[in-house]
Amino acid sequence: MRKLRRSPFGSVPKRRGRLSPLMLVGALVTIIVVLVGAIVFVLPRLGSHSGNALSIDGDQS
């Protein structure tokens, strides 16, 4: 007896709304890399202007 093949377009996945652990880990790693990159990019710029903000009379010696 032959089994009938189902069309791949007619079937709807039953597992909806649940994130796989691999997807969750990938999203977390991406967020962490973006945050670390932003911190590395922003901190040197903030540090270079901090000396100018501390001097009131303009003497930076």
Q: Which of 6-10, 18-22, 54-58 has the highest mean pLDDT?
A: 18-22
Q: Is the pLDDT of residue 11 over 80?
A: no
Helices (H) and strands (E) in the chain, counts: 1, 0
Q: How confident is the model at residue 19 (pLDDT cuts 50, 70, 90)?
A: confident
Q: What is the DSSP-derived secondary structure letter of residue 26?
A: H
- Residues 26 and 29: their CA atoms lie apart, in Å, by 5
The larger pLDDT score, comparing residue 57 to residue 32, is at 32
Q: How confident is the model at residue 44 (pLDDT cuts 50, 70, 90)?
A: confident
Q: What is the DSSP-derived secondary structure letter of residue 9?
A: T
51 touches 60 (CB < 8 A): yes
- Residues 61 and 50: their CA atoms lie apart, in Å, by 14
- Residues 50 and 56: their CA atoms lie apart, in Å, by 12
